[in-house]
């Protein structure tokens, strides 16, 4: 079995691939900004640990783990709006940097990206 650190590294290699195009920057820029804030990424690693109980880490598992992380980030963007939080992980929140309307769209785009990852899962 892989250690938490090794699974984190494997996930980071997969997750660091671009999930959003660069253009239009007004739509995708806030998502790129938010993902660059980092985070612990515990949820996707737990997903990979669960997968590892039954099999080697597969592309399907990495796609599901990515979907989980993107979904989690979608909820954080929307939560920050609802809570009127000024900071997330020591950075300005998306809604304070880009405005509430753009932050709502950024969260929605993150949700769509999560579903796109799930759509890549092969039976």
The per-residue pLDDT for 22 is 85
What global pTM score does this model have?
A: 0.94
| Cα distances (angstroms) measured from residue 97 to each of 31, 80, 108 | 12, 12, 17
CA terminus-to-terminus distance, the chain: 24
Domains of the chain, residue spans:
4-119
Average pLDDT, the chain: 95
DSSP per-residue codes, 55-76: SS--HHHHHHHHHHHHHHHHHH
Mean pLDDT of 49-63: 93
**pLDDT > 90 fraction of the chain, expressed in percent and rounded:** 89
> Mind listing the pLDDT tens digit for each residue in 70-85?
999 999 999 999 999 9
Whether the per-residue pLDDT at 1 is higher than 90: the answer is no
Selected from 3.30.870.10, 3.40.50.920, 1.10.600.10, 3.30.910.10, the CATH number assigned to the domain covering 4-119 reads 1.10.600.10
**pLDDT > 70 fraction of the chain, expressed in percent and rounded:** 100
> Mind listing the pLDDT tens digit for each residue in 63-121?
999 999 999 999 999 999 999 999 999 999 999 999 999 999 999 999 999 999 999 99
């Amino acid at each position: 079995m892989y250690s938490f650190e090794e699974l984190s590294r494997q996930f980071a290699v997969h997750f660091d691939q671009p999930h959003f195009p660069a253009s239009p920057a007004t739509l995708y820029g806030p998502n790129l900004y938010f993902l660059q804030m980092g985070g612990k990424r515990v949820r996707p690693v737990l997903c990979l640990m669960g997968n590892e109980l039954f099999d080697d880490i597969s592309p399907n598992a990495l796609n599901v783990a990515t979907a989980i992380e993107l979904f989690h980030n979608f909820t954080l963007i929307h939560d920050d709006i609802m809570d009127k939080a000024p900071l997330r992980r020591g950075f300005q929140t998306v809604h304070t940097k880009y405005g509430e309307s753009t932050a709502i769209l950024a969260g929605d785009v993150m949700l769509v990206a999560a579903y796109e990852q799930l759509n890549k899962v092969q039976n």
